[in-house]
Structure 1
Amino acid sequence: MSYRVCLVCLGNICRSPMAEVVLRSTLADHGLGDLVSVDSAGTGGWHQGHPMDDRAAATLAEHGYDGSLHRARQFLAPWFGEIDLVLAMDNDNLRALRRLAPPGADVRLLRSFDPAAPEGAEVPDPYYDGRESFTEVLEMVKAASEGLAKHLAAVLR
């Protein structure tokens, strides 16, 4: 793997693991699966070791993705030395990551790679909402993953 991406939300049980699974699949579809490593983490550590939220896993499964191997973990500042691109799901997590980041670290919002998303668009936290919110998150993640795959294809080839 020559390029590493880490997707980050608050607890690493909903948005970022969904994005990890989708991005990994999208990169494989674009022939980049062997060139890019994809991980996820949370800015908070209270879910460490837990599997993905059942609703997130079910939403992924309904759309042909498998999130069963995921276990939550907390993002740590030393990881910046190993990761090329850190993608936050929302502005709160973006600010938290930028506080940890060394100068020059590439930290952005995931939806900045979706050409149809407005500037500053976030992936909202579906945790306290119904199942339809997880489907909406999945659609946002899929669109951003396509844009990111196209960006990485241009950068890495």
Structure 2
Amino acid sequence: MPTRILFVCLGNICRSPAAEGVFRALCPEVETDSAGTASYHAGEPPYGPMQAAASARGLDISDLRARQFRRGDFDAFDLIIAMDAGNLEAIEALRPAGNDTQVRLFTGYAPGTGADHVPDPYYTRDFDGCLDLIEAAAKGLKAAL
């Protein structure tokens, strides 16, 4: 059973911190973190509108800070969850030779939704829709552990 899970999106200010917050509320016994494939927002807290949407659901993600995904994350985590195919490709590009850490798309844990990726609310502005999908995937991930 994975006990260390990393959630990854592009900038680590919307989708991945929201996924980390949702999942740590569902499974506090599992060590979680989040990261972005780009360094645009390193050191910043989650995007204000995402914090507000999460807070409306009883989730406080204000303590999280963005960081960039790094090669060492393959050794530090048992499972790496990507929010979309572009993130998955960027993650795999950094995989060390011989490493077998599982990397999966988050929507693979939410088959009933019809979604093939978690849309980025930074661009879509649909923070609630993003959280709905994240909650469905988080419940599926918990059930799969």
Matches of 2:138 and 2:10, distance apart in 1: 19
Cross-structure match for 1:112: 108
Moved over 2 A (4+): none
1:122 to 113, 117, 121: 117
Residue matched to 2:8? 8
Q: Which residue of 2 aligns with 1:149?
A: 142
Find out whether 1:90 has 2:84 as its counterpart. Answer: yes
TM-score (norm 1): 0.86
Match of 1:137 in 2: 130
TM-score after normalising by structure 2: 0.93
Aligned partner (choices 95, 111, 115) of residue 101 of structure 1: 95
**Aligned-pair identity (%):** 43
Paired position in structure 2 for 1:24: 24
May I ask how many residue pairs the two structures share in their alignment? Answer: 142
Q: Secondary structure at the match of 2:119?
A: coil
1:123 deviation in Å?
Answer: 0.1
Quote the Cα distance in structure 1 between the aligned partners of 2:76 and 2:113: 29
Alpha-carbon shift at residue 129 of structure 1 (Å): 2.9
Q: Deviations over 1:76-127 (max 9, x none)?
A: 0111011100000011001101111234221110110113134x71001111
Q: 1:9-32 deviations in whole A, cap 9, x for unaligned?
A: 0000000000000011111xxxxx
Provide the residue aligned with 1:60 in structure 2: 54
Deviation track 1:113-150 (CA, whole Å, cap 9, x = no partner) reads 113134x71001111233xx110000000000001011
RMSD: 1.3
5+ unaligned residues in a row in structure 2: which ranges? none
